[in-house]
Structure 1
Amino acid sequence: MNRDTRTLFGLVAVVLTMGALAWAAVPFYNWFCRVTGFAGTTQVSTQAPDEVLEEVVRVRFDANVDGDLGWTFRPMQTKMDVRIGENAMAFYEAVNNTDETITGTASYNVAPDVAGYYFSKIQCFCFTEQTLEPGERVEMPVNFYVDPEMVDDADASWVRDITLSYTFHRTEPKQAALDAEPASNVN
């Protein structure tokens, strides 16, 4: 194999490696954020812990909408004092202000970022798409707790004020997206 052929194979290998890394970057980043709580990414749990501390955390609620959504979205309470480890429930309200059916998906995080690893959701409207008919108004719950292990973490033990923030984005309904895919021609 001559030098030019080796160089060509080397360049092709570099391009393929870079393409594979780019393809894997988004799922890897999402996994990393879920595992570590990086960037305020919250955790998902099936139930609250058995231990409830006397220490209290104030949870503030924030709501935003993408400009092209056409919804009003707001927390039904602006803040809530919750004992660390306590199972709590808050509600958000969404109203479709348009004359069309719209599907949205909520992205979320908490601040300060270090609290993300200890803020766990048991049930949340953000886990699924939300489809609202024209003029429809819905109340959507989020069931959560703050993990008692937070008080033993030197980096997070000082946190007693957490902001839970959601932003709704317009999305195509999953079924509509599936229906829109062209059928493959099998012969």
Structure 2
Amino acid sequence: MARKAPFLERTSRRAAIVSGRSLKTFTGSRPKHRSVFLHMPKCGGTSLSEAMYATVPFYERIGVIDAVATRRAAGIVHFDRDDPWVCHEDLENGQKVFDLREQMLLQHMAWDTMLIHGHVLWSERAAAHFGDLYKFVTLLRDPVERTVSNMRMAQRAGLVGDDPEAYLQSDVARRQA
């Protein structure tokens, strides 16, 4: 869910999810397939994930692999530091957070979670062991628009300067590609 959305917007979004899940619970309906939503950053996935959450009855699990929480956890595991920037996926230790997320993905799949959602990469291991049980879903965006959005986010975070050419040549841009 949009972490920084205004209170009323967050409340409205949560109410829609609860309403959908309640309806599915009371009618006994559920999604046809277990699903993994590979949420690509800056591609509009939050709205899709919330719509997907609303299809899962309360008696089925939803596994959320949270971006900020996994960055913090990877920082603690690898560097004994509770800091979301130590293992940020756009920086040099980013692979450590992706490795943790893959482990969490496998744990949720082994637990038969109905819907798993997060900023996870495609996993050959997950496909090999659970591919017959799960459908994989993602949402992509126009690559130029996504690149501009990534650049602006990196600028706000102080990771890059204002020069678009310098951004395109940066390690940050390569990791976000």
User: When you count strand as a share of all residues, which structure comes out higher?
Assistant: 1
Report which of the two structures shows the higher radius of gyration computed on alpha carbons.
1
TM-score scaled by structure 2?
0.28
Instruction: State the TM-score, normalizing by the size of structure 1.
Output: 0.27
